[in-house]
Amino acid sequence: MSPQQSSVVSSGLLLVNGAQIYYEVRGAGPTLLMIQGATGDGGTFDSAAELLSGDFTVVTYDRRGNSRSPRPAGYTAMTVEQQADDAAAVLEGLGRSPALLFGTSGGAIITLELVKRHPEVVRGAIIHEPPLVPVLSDPEAISAQLMEMVGQGMSSGGPRGAMEMFLRDAAGEETFESLDAVLRERMLGNAELFFEVELGAFASYVPSADEIGASSVPLQVVAGSEHKGIYLWAASQWVSRAAGVALREYPGTHAPYLERPKEFADALRSSLSDPAFQG
Output the domain CATH number for residue 127: 3.40.50.1820
Does 4 fall in a domain?
no
Residue 220 CA to residue 169 CA, distance in Å, equals 25
Does 3 fall in a domain?
no
In this prediction, residue 6 carries a pLDDT of 76
Does 204 fall in a domain?
yes
Cβ partners under 8 Å of residue 116, min gap 6: 84, 207, 211, 215
Domain of 122 in residue numbering reads as 9-277
Does 38 fall in a domain?
yes
Q: How many domains does the chain have?
A: 1
Does 273 fall in a domain?
yes
Does 123 fall in a domain?
yes
One digit per residue, pLDDT tens: the chain, 279 residues?
555 567 899 999 999 999 999 999 999 999 999 999 999 999 999 999 999 999 999 999 999 999 999 999 999 999 999 999 999 999 999 999 999 999 999 999 999 999 999 999 999 999 999 999 999 999 999 999 999 999 999 999 999 999 999 999 888 999 999 999 999 999 999 999 999 999 999 999 999 999 999 999 999 999 999 989 899 999 999 999 999 999 999 999 999 999 999 999 999 999 999 999 986
Number of neighbours of residue 67 by Cβ within 10 angstroms:
23
Does 2 fall in a domain?
no
Does 1 fall in a domain?
no
In this prediction, residue 3 carries a pLDDT of 53
